[in-house]
Amino acid sequence: MLGQFKPVAFEPYGRRRASYRPPRWLMLLLAGAAAGVAGVLVVQERLLPPRLSASESGALRAALEQTEAERARLATELAATSKQLQAAQAERASATADLAADRERTKNSRADIEFLIGSLPPDPRGGAVEVRAAKLTRQRGALGYEVLLTRGKGADAPFAGVMQFVVTGLTGGVERNLTLEPIKVNVGAHQSLRGSLALPDSFTPKLTTIHVLERVGSRPIGMRVLYVQ
């Protein structure tokens, strides 16, 4: 019968509680979370740009605001420049249109002048240069003149020479001839000249002979005699 009893350990402080051990899955979960946090920290420190301090963040924000303000200013200037460019283009288009209109008016005026010249009677004396029309007026101490010189349509280069007036008039009841200062001319198809030449105060012009010369003293290549009005 003694062989049927098992020895029992004596515990004077009572039965010991079994020690607590967390589950394995919880340990693995905590280890994984710790590894993830460590990985994030490693990536932040080694791979990502360093985190900015509060002062650096403020400076970056101020620089961004300044950049935005500069961008807004440039956008305003660009809009103003675009308006100025549009205005300049419109002004240029208007100037181009005005220039075309002026050219057309000039063309029409030339046609009118050619028509009027063609309708004038020819110089009765003829000549290489014709005095087609002239008006001579008596002024105080001067002879006023308006003269139209023409050349034939087949003429080559413009004729460069002089025009000179020989005025017949009275001084104290005595008839005199005065040769006035020559006037330079350059006649293409035609040339209109107007002006006045000085006369002695006591001289009263009556008749004027218009000479067209290659140079002073040469033989006239065009001439016409007209009364002074």
pLDDT at 12: 56
pLDDT at residue 108 greater than cutoff 80: no
Helix (H, G, I), strand (E, B) or coil at 164: strand
Q: Residue 125: which pLDDT band, with cuts at 50, 70 and 90?
A: confident
**Predicted local distance difference test score (pLDDT) of residue 15:** 55
**Which two tokens mark 201?**
């105060």
Q: How confident is the model at residue 121 (pLDDT cuts 50, 70, 90)?
A: confident
Nearest of 229, 222, 214 to residue 132 by alpha carbon: 222
pLDDT computed for residue 181 by the predictor: 94
The predicted structure's pLDDT at residue 172: 85
Q: Is the pLDDT of residue 222 over 80?
A: yes
- SS3 (DSSP) at 197: strand
DSSP class of residue 188?
Answer: S
pLDDT tens-place string over residues 147-168: 999 887 666 788 899 999 999 9
Return the CATH fold of 130-227.
Immunoglobulin-like (2.60.40)
43-69 in b/e form (b: 16+ CB < 10 A) is: eeeeeeeeeeeeeeeeeeeeeeeeeee
pLDDT confidence of residue 109: 65
Q: Is 120 helix (H, G, I), strand (E, B) or coil?
A: coil
Q: Would you state the pLDDT for residue 211?
A: 94
Residue 18 corresponds to which amino acid? A
- List, for residues 13-57, the tens digit of each pLDDT value: 555 555 667 777 777 778 777 777 777 766 666 666 666 677 877
pTM of the model: 0.54
As given in the structure block, the two tokens for residue 31 are: 């280890």
pLDDT of residue 101: 79
Does residue 102 have a pLDDT over 90? no
The model's pLDDT over 168-217, given as tens digits with 9 standing for 90+, comes to: 999 888 999 999 999 999 998 889 999 999 999 889 999 999 999 999 98
Which residue's structure tokens are 């008039």? 169
User: Mapping DSSP to helix (H, G, I), strand (E, B) and coil, where does residue 131 land?
Assistant: strand
